[in-house]
C-alpha cells in the first residue's frame, strides 16, 4: 500500500465524519473512495477505521491506496523525457512521431511502454493514467497521474480550465487578427476513419469546441500562433485552424502541406499549468520547440 494523503485534523474538521472530509473538502469521487474502503486503506492515528468514524482536532488521518499496474502495457526501454515527477504525477515532454498510449495499430513503441519500463527499473508499480493526450505527431507536454485520486482531481481541473494547455503552431498564410476565439462544434467525419469536421451550431450534432488564439509572428506565407484549449476535442486545434483557412504546416489531413524540414503537423504543447492534485501547489512547466519547429521558424517566420 502507498500513502496517498496524510491529514492533520484541524479545528474546522473537529467532529466531522471521515467521509464528509473526503467528499466535501478533498473531492474524492464515490468510486475512488469505495475502492479505498474495499482495500481497508483508511487509518486514524495508525488504526484502521471506517468512513463513518468522527475525528477530533489533532488526529492524524491517513489514506492508503494499493499498488497498481497496467498489465496490458508491455514495458520497453524507450527513452522518456521526464520534466517533473513525484509520488502522484509525471509530466512528460513528448517528442514528435511517437504515440502516447498503445492501440491496436501501435501496441509497442509508445510513451506508455517506455514509462512502464522506467517505473519497473525503479522498482515501482503504477497504472498508466494520462490526464490528456497528444496526437502522434504533436510534440510537447502532457501529464500522467500515478493514482486514481490524482487523475480525478486533475480531470476536474481540465473540466474547469484550471489545467491550462498552451500550444504553439506554425500555420499557412498570414493570420490577420492579433487574437480571436474559434467557437465551432466538431463532429467525426462520417466518411473518414479518423478525420473530424466543423458543423454549424444550428444542427446540434457536433460537440462544443472552443479555441483561443493569438498571433505571435507573421511572414508572407506563414504565421506562428499561440493557442489555448477551452475544450479538448480530438484534433481540435488542427480542425479549427483549418476551419479559418490557416491549416497547420505539415498537416495534410486538414489541408496543410508538408514542406522541407516540416513533415508533420507543426504543433507543440509548449506550456502546462495546474494545481498539484494533492498539495494544491501551483505548477507551471514550459519546454522549448523541438529542432524541426525551431529551424522552420527561424527560416520562414520572421
d(CA 203, CA 216): 34
Neighbours of 266 (CB within 10 A): 31
CB atoms within 10 A of CB 249: 27
Identify the active-site residue in 59, 88, 135, 292.
135
135 is annotated as an active-site residue? yes
Give me 265's grid cell: 503537423
For residue 149, CA distances in Å to 42, 44, 50, 89, 161 come to 14, 19, 19, 11, 18
* Distance between CA atoms of residues 123 and 113, nearest Å: 16
Give start and end residues of each alpha helix (H) in 182-287. Answer: 236-243
Indicate which residues carry an active-site annotation. 135
Amino acid at each position: 500500500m502507498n500513502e496517498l494523503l496524510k491529514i492533520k485534523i484541524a479545528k474546522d474538521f473537529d467532529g466531522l465524519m471521515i467521509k464528509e472530509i473526503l467528499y466535501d473538502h478533498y473531492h474524492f469521487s464515490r468510486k475512488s473512495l469505495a475502492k479505498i474502503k474495499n482495500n481497508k486503506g483508511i487509518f486514524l492515528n495508525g488504526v484502521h477505521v471506517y468512513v463513518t468514524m468522527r475525528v477530533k482536532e489533532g488526529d492524524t488521518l491517513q489514506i492508503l491506496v494499493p499498488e497498481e499496474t497496467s498489465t496490458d502495457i508491455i514495458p520497453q526501454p524507450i527513452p522518456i523525457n521526464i520534466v517533473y515527477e513525484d509520488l502522484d504525477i509525471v509530466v512528460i515532454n513528448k517528442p514528435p512521431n511517437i504515440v502516447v498510449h498503445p492501440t491496436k495499430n501501435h501496441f509497442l513503441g509508445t510513451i506508455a511502454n517506455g514509462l512502464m519500463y522506467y517505473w519497473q527499473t525503479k522498482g515501482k508499480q503504477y497504472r498508466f493514467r494520462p490526464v490528456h493526450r497528444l496526437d502522434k505527431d504533436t510534440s510537447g507536454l502532457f501529464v500522467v497521474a500515478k493514482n486514481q485520486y490524482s487523475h480525478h482531481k486533475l480531470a476536474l481541473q481540465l473540466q474547469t480550465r484550471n489545467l491550462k494547455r498552451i500550444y504553439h503552431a506554425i500555420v499557412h498564410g498570414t493570420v490577420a487578427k492579433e487574437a480571436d476565439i474559434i467557437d465551432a462544434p466538431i463532429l467525426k467525419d462520417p466518411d473518414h476513419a479518423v478525420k473530424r469536421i466543423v458543423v454549424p451550431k444550428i444542427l446540434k450534432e457536433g460537440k462544443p469546441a472552443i479555441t483561443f488564439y493569438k498571433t505571435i509572428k507573421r511572414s508572407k506565407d506563414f504565421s506562428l500562433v499561440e493557442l489555448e484549449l477551452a475544450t479538448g476535442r480530438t484534433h481540435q486545434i488542427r480542425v479549427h485552424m483549418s476551419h479559418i483557412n490557416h491549416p497547420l504546416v505539415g498537416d495534410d489531413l486538414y489541408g496543410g502541406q508538408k514542406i522541407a524540414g516540416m513533415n508533420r503537423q507543426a504543433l507543440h504543447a509548449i506550456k502546462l499549468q495546474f494545481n498539484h492534485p494533492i498539495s494544491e501547489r501551483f505548477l507551471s512547466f514550459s519546454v522549448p520547440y523541438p529542432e524541426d519547429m525551431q529551424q522552420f521558424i527561424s527560416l520562414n517566420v520572421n
